[in-house]
Structure 1
Amino acid sequence: MARSNRCEVMDPSEVQIFHIVSRTTRGCWLFGQDSISGKNYDHRKVWIEEYLQHFAACFAIDLLSFSILSNHFHLVLRSRSDIVGTWDDTEVARRWLMICPERKDDRGNPMTPSQAELDRIRKSPEKLVEIRSRLSNLSWWMRLLNQQIAQRANKEDDTTGHFFEQRFKAIPLVDEEAVLACSVYVDLNLIRACIAETVELSEHTSAQRRVESIQASQQTPRDDEKASADGETQAADPQARRADAFLSPVNLHEGTAPAGPQPSKTNARCSDKGFLAMSEEEYLELLDWSARHLAPGKRGSTPEGHPPILERLGLSPTLWLSLVADFGSLFSTIAGRPEHLDTERTKQTGRRFYVPKQARDLFGQAA
């Protein structure tokens, strides 16, 4: 089946959530132990995570989940054109120049933009409109992310040519069930690949960062102060130094959260708006519950009864486990319940999306 044009499913002016996958060329393990060259490139996973943190702090895009494996990585991203609307011209120019700096320091980090550099953008109405659109554009996020990774890796290997395999894959997630299933699918990738046994041991995943933050929050002030690298009291805002500070919060806090875009109170991410109707602890419990079923023989046992979130969403354990295990094959163009997907149309031509028979049958059995 021919792939859809990106513009048919992606609109930077809308708030949308996408599952993104990007693979290295020819499936080579250029982020891990590569059997062809015999070299180990695990350190590149650190690069990618550092880039994700930087992009999450500059773009008007929420990073919901991620996992980095040896030859590809998964992201769940939410475009936030509504957040861009809260930024003045100076903030738009500053953020863009931190992503695409005109000057870098000795370590290659972007330097604080000068007034002249800011003026070249904020005094050009056409350029401002274009950059505002780019800041909430998932294609620009991926274009610059993959470009920086590829250039750095090629320089390290003293080579040229393509580093990534074709263009990245982008699947829109149109309902809460799809967002939840995809996020769990992404966070459990290392467990499903037999690289890790538990969520907390799944390195370079959003799940591990959330676990680290919960563990750190249980420290006493004395413990926290001792953990400071320089021996001084850390920043007053505990949210700014959390391991998952660059990730979108899990909980939407429906009914209590303020209306509107909810721009972040820290400089680590674009907004403080969650993406699921559950707490962070409930999400991690669901991850652990799902992981035990996906990998029989691991330590622990299945809790009695169904987790409350499954009951609230009307998902049976069988349906849920099939969704998480086979998410990639069930949804190749757009993801969600078949009845929700049937109401969606492509952005440019207004065509209906194809829903695989396997997905219809799965949800039909659970009806």
Structure 2
Amino acid sequence: MTISRRKLIEPHITPFYHVINRCVRRAYLCGDDPYNGKNYQHRRGWIVNKIKQLAADKQQALSNLVAEWQQRLGSISWFMRCLNEEIARKANKEDQCKGAFWEGRFKSQALLDEQALLSCMMYVDLNPIRAGVTPSLEQSDFTSIQQRIREYHQTKVSRSSKASSSANHFQLLPFVGGEHQAKTVGINFAFADYLELIDWTGRCIRNDKKGFIGSNQPKILQQLGITSDAWLEHSEQFMERYANVSGKWSQMCAFKQRIGGHWCKGKSASHQLHPS
């Protein structure tokens, strides 16, 4: 049974969500289309530019409209509507056809804790390597991880005081359940640690190195107590291992009950990410 979007997305429970949308009518969003032989690589730029535009729109809202538009600007559904509508119009015009370009509803997965957030980020960032589109993250054009790596290296090279003061911008913020809580929880690591983890994971899942697992396990995994095999399975199959929520099993069940569900997918996967 279809669950209402307002139940699946609860910002007061978690601000982090993995959202996915697919093309219909056998259409290709990006890359080489094997059916018509066309290349749609340029569409990646459409998406990047639109996301930047939407982010800029949020920053440029007039002060006398903030109260009225605050909820809409913070709505994932509204964000996806604005993003998908323009991309669909451009794609239909380019393909000289009409009709639906996207599936009727985008899918979402609530990420309830930092383990879920970290493994989902890894799944998304490694998509180009897993699909065999690019051999390295540095060459994965139109991705946020490529941009973050470049900015990180630029910051390392620069020894100016300005670069030093902006170094915190490239750290992953601690995942906190609520800012009002006296005790904050989260995995304390910098972007350099994330780079170490994603580089190690990427080497393990590359098509030409299937089955290879580096002996030096990243310290983040050691800190969390997650085994290498469990981590690599999540990095390759995160979307398939969960339905619409990921996190600690008890929290997943509570989330499911809150939205009126009676069955929750991902028990064994959750225990792998939360061994203690």
Q: Same fold (TM over 0.5)?
A: yes
DSSP 3-state at the match of 2:103: coil
Contact 2:256 2:264 in 1 (8 A): no
Q: Secondary structure at the match of 2:245?
A: coil
Counterpart for residue 171 of structure 1: 109
For 1:244-283, what aligned pairs fall within 5 Å after superposition? 249-252=170-173, 277-283=188-194
> What does the per-residue CA deviation read over 1:102-121, in whole Å, with 9 as the maximum and x for residues that have no partner?
xxxxxxxxxxxxxxxxxxxx
Residue 353 (structure 1) shift? 5.5
Is 1:93 matched with 2:74?
no
Q: Which residue of 1 aligns with 2:31?
A: 32
AA aligned opposite 2:18:
H
- 1:151 is matched with which residue: 67, 82, 89? 89
What is the alpha-carbon distance in structure 1 between the residues aligned to residue 220 and residue 123 of structure 2?
A: 16
SS of match in other structure, 1:11: coil
Match of 1:342, SS state, is helix
Query: Equivalent of 2:203, from 289, 292, 312?
Result: 292
Amino acid at match of 1:154: N
Distance (Å, rounded) in 2 between the aligned partners of 1:316 and 1:149: 40
**Partner of 1:326 in structure 2?**
237
The alpha-carbon distance between structure 1 residues 249 and 4, as it changes in their structure 2 partners (threshold 3 A), is farther
Instruction: Quote the Cα distance in structure 2 between the aligned partners of 1:136 and 1:204.
Output: 24
- Is the 8 Å Cα contact of residues 199 and 287 (structure 1) preserved in structure 2? no
Match of 1:268 in 2: none
- Give 4+ residue runs of structure 1 displaced > 6 Å after superposition: 236-239
Alignment size in residue pairs: 264
Deviation at 1:4, TM superposition (A): 2.3
SS in 2 for 1:19: strand
Distance, in Å, in 1 between the alignment partners of 2:71 and 2:131 is: 37
Percent identity of equivalent pairs = 30
Deviation string, structure 1 residues 255-310 (Cα, Å, up to 9, x no partner): 9xxx78xxxxxxxxxxxxxx963211111110010111112645xx8654321111
Alignment of 1:315-354 (within 5 A): 315-345=226-256, 347=258, 349=260, 351=261, 354=264
Q: Is the 8 A contact 1:184 1:324 kept in 2?
A: yes
Pairing partner for 1:356 from 261, 266, 275: 266
C-alpha distance in 1 between matches for 2:174 and 2:265: 31
Higher helix fraction (1 or 2): 2
- TM-score, with normalisation over the residues of structure 1? 0.63
Judged with a 3 Å threshold, the aligned counterparts in structure 2 of structure 1 residues 37 and 312 are, in CA distance, closer, same or farther, namely: same
CA distance in 1, matches of 2:79, 2:248: 28
Deviation at 1:337, TM superposition (A): 2.6
Q: Is 1:140 equivalent to 2:64 in the alignment?
A: no
Q: What is the identity, as a one-letter code, of the residue corresponding to 1:149?
A: I
TM-score by length of 2: 0.81
Write the distance in 2 (CA, Å) between the matches of 1:46 and 1:13. 32
